[in-house]
Chains A and B, each alone.
Chain A
Amino acid sequence: MEITQVSDLPYSCGRSEDELWSRLSMPPDQHELGCPYCQAQRQRLAPLAKATTQWKIGNDSENEADTALLGSIRGRVMDGIKAEIRRGTRFTLRITTLGTLRISGYVLLETLREVVDSIRGVALRTHKILPGSHPESISMSINLALEAGEDGVRLTNGIRDALRARFAQAIGISLDDIDINLEDVFHDF
């Protein structure tokens, strides 16, 4: 069984240890200067507080030392993830007399992201590709954040045009519905 209340109770002067602990990096306030309990507890907690602070400062150099290691761990995992998503959902491009031509949903999403990212004044949020009404078409649904002061209608029309042009040129398919939802406004400082 776990005891849940230990030493977080107020000192005799009414202050809690938590309160005192959070103030340790600051000079004693008026109360602490005149309070023998708080002074004694400050002294008791000082070595722990000092070592804890140094531990956190030491994290910076630890971070530096770990950067290469973390880069390689991340790289390994991302390679696996990319290989997996590349082979995820597939869309039919065309059924010919010789067989079926397909494309990975990942390529379609990457194309979508590339187009939207090239347009200033919007930030792409959630997005997805859906099968279109016939094999050689797809639909998409896009949520965007709009930069404050930008013309949402002009930008969404521009995005639709750019998407249709890019998908025709790079993929060779037409786009059915392009649902664009402006869900947020952001300020670019």
Chain B
Amino acid sequence: MSGPEKPDQHELRTLVARAQSGDPRAFENILVLYQHGLLRFCRSMINSSGEAEDVLQEVYLSAWRQLSTLQSPEALSVWLYRIARHRCIDHLRKRTPLPQDFHDEEGNPGPRQVLEPRANASLESSAETRAAIVELRRFVNELPATQRECWVLKEVHDLSYSDISKIVSAPLTTVRGRIARARVTLAERMQPWK
């Protein structure tokens, strides 16, 4: 993932400790570190850029208000993604009758909305590659929500199975299963791009 350089352990501990003591600059520095990933995650959950940006604002405020619940600086990333996930689910709940697939994965496909192709999605050289990415985003969007969030966290955000398991509050085996199933579906749907 790109973005600002990740802080070392001392810098991370310092940032978290200062933010927890009420230093707004330290908190803002934390946001700068994670903002791109969090926005991408909200977009992948919500499938609407404008709404994802509103939710991101709520994520920031929740994070500020819940800072005392962050037990260790090392858990910062998981803690932030958990907050983002909860805010996204709250938002989707309000936007009924959406994501029943958060409850019943074996039901039919998830949200029907098509992920907006990002106007500035890539700098890829070939139109074919660009088209393949647009297709993949669409297929990902059509996965059941629980599979989608796990797959995105693993493949787009490079998080470990263990971190994802903590973020989505599901056992490791469940997370592995969701990602494996998502991969099977996506690999099959991407076959024409061979």
Contacts and interface: CB of A to CB of B under 8 A. Distances in A.
B27 interface: yes
Nearest to B10: A186
B121 A125 contact: no
B28 A66 contact: no
Interface residues of B, number: 62
A124 B18 contact: yes
Contact of B124 (A6, A57, A78, A113): A57
A58 B122 contact: yes
B124 A4 contact: no
Chain A interface size range: 35 or more
A61 B24 contact: no
B114 interface: no
A1 B13 CA distance: 41
A184 B13 contact: yes
Contacts of B193: 47, 50-51
Nearest to B118: A62
B112 interface: no
B23 A59 contact: no
Interface of B: 1-3, 10, 13-14, 17-18, 20-24, 27-28, 31-32, 35-36, 39-40, 53, 56-57, 60-61, 64, 105-106, 118, 120-124, 129, 132-133, 135-137, 146, 155-156, 158, 171, 173-174, 176-178, 180-181, 183-184, 186-187, 190-194
Interface of A: 1-8, 17-18, 21, 43-48, 50-52, 54-63, 65-66, 69-70, 73-74, 76-78, 80-82, 85, 88, 105-106, 109, 113, 123-128, 143, 145, 184, 186-187
